[in-house]
Amino acid sequence: MGSSNLPKSDFTSSKFMTMAVEQAFASLGVSSPNPAVGAVIVNNGSVVGVGNTQPVGSAHAEIMALGDAGDKAQGSELYVTLEPCAHQGRTAPCVDSIISAGIKSVHYAVRDPYDQVNGRGHSILENAGISVYVGECEKAVLDQLGGYFKYVKTGLPLVIVKYAASLDGKIASNSGDSRWVSGRKTLLWAHKNRPTYDAIVVGSNTVVIDDPQLSARPNNPDGPVDLDVHQPIRVVVDSRGKVDSAARIFAGDQKSIVATTELSSKQWRDEIENVGAEILILPLYEDANGISRVDLKELIQVCGNHGMHNILFEGGGVLLGSLFDRQLVDKVHAILAPIIIGADSAPSAVSGQGAMYMKEATSLTQVEIQFLGDDLLVTGIPEWH
Catalytic site residues? 62
DSSP codes of every residue in 309-345: -EEEE---HHHHHHHHHTT--SEEEEEEES-----TT
CA angle 77, 80, 83 (to 5 degrees): 110
DSSP codes of every residue in 172-200: S-TT---TTSS-HHHHHHHHHHGGG-SEE
Q: Report whether the peptide linkage leading into residue 180 is cis, meaning its omega lies within 30 degrees of zero.
A: yes
Q: Which residues have C-beta within 8 Å of that of residue 297, sequence separation ≥ 6? A: 285, 326, 328
Q: Which residues have C-beta within 8 Å of that of residue 171, sequence separation ≥ 6? A: 163, 164, 165, 178, 181, 315, 316, 317, 347, 348, 349
CB 179 within 8 A of CB 213: no
CA angle 161, 226, 37 (to 5 degrees): 60
First to last CA, the chain: 46
In a 10 Å sphere around its CB, with 0-12 CB exposed, 13-18 middle and 19+ buried, how is residue 271 labelled? middle
Long-range contacts of 211-218 (CB under 8 A, 24+ apart): 211/247, 211/248, 211/249, 212/248, 212/249, 213/248, 213/249, 213/251, 213/252, 214/249, 214/254, 214/314, 215/252, 215/254, 216/191, 217/191, 218/188, 218/191, 218/192, 218/194
User: CA neighbours within 13 Å on the CB side: how many for 112?
Assistant: 24
In a 10 Å sphere around its CB, with 0-12 CB exposed, 13-18 middle and 19+ buried, how is residue 373 labelled? middle
Q: Using CA atoms, how far apart are residues 29 and 189, in angstroms rounded to an integer? A: 16
